[in-house]
Amino acid sequence: MRGARIIGTGRALPMRVVKNEELTLRMDTSDEWIVQRTGVRERRYVDPGTGSSHLGAEAARNAIANAGITPEDIDLIVFASLSPDHVFPGNGVLVQERLGMRTVGALDVRDQCSGFLYGLSVAEAYVKGRFHDHVLVIGAEVQSTGLDFSTKGRDVAVIFGDGAGAVVVGPAEPGRGILSSHLHSEGKYAKDLWLEAPSFIDNPWITHEMIDAGKHFPKMNGRYVFTHAVRRFPEVTLESLLKNGLTIADLSLLIPHQANLRITQAVGAALQLPEEKVFSNVERYGNTTAASIPIALDECVEQGRIREGDIVCLASFGSGFTWASTLLRW
Ligand code: UT7
């Protein structure tokens, strides 16, 4: 079997920077609380009319350009988002049209914070299995339009932001690039971080009562999610190293999903990794769900934090619960 590696990365962030102070005008919160409990200092919000498909398409354009190929070279689109422009069709087809691609497959992935790594595992399999040569994987979110900005929703609203990241996966010699992917889920916790309504199991699927009850806003059992996250991140990171006969000492960089600075710090401590080996940009973008890992990866590449031959672990945890890791030899 041939290998598969990331040959290009890209990102797209909305221009509008929203600092914690701005949120204090809309709800009972403070810059001090947000920074202490989450590490977030600012996030980006889109202007009206911009969807995750737009941000995703822009990130994809950058990733394709950085890969040194053209949109016509892409054989498959994988789009991960919990905030697609529409319930259907998914964002993948919108990117196919917007980038003027061939009539290639467009697969939408619904695994929230793990969506990008779930999507990357699909790209890995298709490229390693010689089904395709170039697979585009996008993680993009517009969450600012769907948050509860009243004090009732403050625990969730202060964390999340908008953004997009993308990669192109192409062929590599065996042993280089994506070494392995590890995906997990535990659906018994589905309601601990979810958006309850509108729901096709209700009839009619959208009602005034739902809206009055605020069921159309995301709800999170924050402490519970936190506790599970700090256990699963180290576990799935070690799983990827063990699978490849490596140890934590071999790891050059861990890029965890950017959920909360305290989670990232707890994970680094649990793995006994020095601070410089655990990437964080949550202070600038908040939690961008499926977009956070590809945005972080693109920044790491741009900043020269990853060199050829480095062992890099990407790891995620979030709604589902789902968690995952991907181990790379860059
Ligand atoms: O993307 C992956 C999934 N998401 C995550 O990984 C997030 C995981 N969870 C977290 O990051 C944290 O649980 C939160 C940041 C969401 C909350 O932090 P916490 O330290 O767990 O706070 P808490 O929910 O236990 O609330 C503590 C207090 C409460 O007040 P009382 O009941 O102690 O009086 C909250 O009402 O903080 C209050 N609070 C706030 N205060 C000011 C909650 N949100 C806010 C806020 N501003 N934004």
CATH of the domain at 49: 3.40.47.10
Cβ of residue 259 lying under 6 Å from some atom of ligand 1: yes
300 is catalytic: no
Are 26 and 80 part of one and the same domain?
Answer: yes
Are 169 and 183 part of one and the same domain?
Answer: no
42 with 18: CB under 8 angstroms?
yes
Cβ of residue 113 lying under 6 Å from some atom of ligand 1: yes
Are 311 and 280 part of one and the same domain?
Answer: yes
| Options 20, 54, 66, 113, the catalytic residue | 113
Ordered per-residue pLDDT tens for the chain, 330 residues? 899 999 999 999 999 999 999 999 999 999 999 999 999 999 999 999 999 999 999 999 999 999 999 999 999 999 999 999 999 999 999 999 999 999 999 999 999 999 999 999 999 999 999 999 999 999 999 999 999 999 999 999 999 999 999 999 999 999 999 999 999 999 999 999 999 999 999 999 999 999 999 999 999 999 999 999 999 999 999 999 999 999 999 999 999 999 999 999 999 999 999 999 999 999 999 999 999 999 999 999 999 999 999 999 999 999 999 999 999 999
Cα–Cα dist 169/136, whole Å: 6
Which of 142, 175, 208 delimits the end of a domain? 175
Ligand 1 center from residue 45 Cα (angstroms) = 21
Cα–Cα dist 255/241, whole Å: 14
Are 203 and 263 part of one and the same domain?
Answer: yes
Are 39 and 171 part of one and the same domain?
Answer: yes
313 with 237: CB under 8 angstroms?
yes
255 with 293: CB under 8 angstroms?
yes
Ligand 1 center from residue 189 Cα (angstroms) = 18
Site to probe by mutation for ligand 1, drawn from 35, 37, 186, 258 as the one with most ligand atoms within 8 Å of Cβ, is: 37
9 with 166: CB under 8 angstroms?
yes
| Counted domains in the chain | 2
113 is catalytic: yes
Which of 143, 175, 207 delimits the end of a domain? 175
Ligand 1 center from residue 162 Cα (angstroms) = 20
Smallest CA-to-CA distance from 304 within 279, 324, 272, 286 is with 279
| pTM score above 0.85 | yes
User: 310 is in which domain, residue-wise?
Assistant: 178-329
Residue type, 224: Y
Cβ contacts of residue 273 below 8 Å, gap of 6+?
Answer: 248, 251, 254
Are 89 and 182 part of one and the same domain?
Answer: no
Cβ contacts of residue 102 below 8 Å, gap of 6+?
Answer: 72, 74
Are 14 and 103 part of one and the same domain?
Answer: yes
Which of 175, 194, 215 delimits the end of a domain? 175
Are 189 and 234 part of one and the same domain?
Answer: yes
238 with 184: CB under 8 angstroms?
no
